[in-house]
Amino acid sequence: MRVLRGAIIFLAIGFAASVMMTPERAEARCKTFEASHNGTDMFYDDGTEGTVKNKLLWYVEQWQIEKGVKRVRMGKVRIKCGQWFYKYLLPHRNCKAKARVCY
């Protein structure tokens, strides 16, 4: 009985020590970036959607330079655009882009 109790205590101490010694998992930190564009980009090939996506990528690039981050993983860029409306006799459209960036 005494041997069994000693073995259980030994195993419990060994388990506690192994749990404390295992390194923590590295978790990526993520940030959500947003950009919006309101303009008359109907004359360009990629239109307002492409302009807002380029603006979002530019924001991410500037943030990378500012923070000194070398590698990022970017999720899917989600783009939502509203209806066309007229402003100053030209058609305009409001688009918003959103993406999650992990580093």
Task: Convert the pLDDT of each residue in 27-56 to its tens digit.
Answer: 678 999 999 998 877 666 778 888 999 999
Which is more confident, 77 or 45? 77
The pLDDT score that the predictor gives to residue 16 is 61
Per DSSP, the three-state class of 80 is strand
Neighbours of 60 (CB within 10 A): 19
Which stretches within 22-88 are classed as H helix? 47-67
Task: Output the six-digit token pair for 72.
Answer: 């990022």
For 42, which DSSP code?
T
Comparing 63 with 44, the larger pLDDT belongs to 63
Query: What is the rounded average pLDDT for all residues in the chain?
Result: 82
Which of 13, 35, 26 minimizes the C-alpha distance to 94?
Answer: 35
Strand 85-87 relative to strand 78-81: parallel, antiparallel, unpaired? unpaired
Average pLDDT over residues 57-77: 93
pLDDT of residue 101: 95
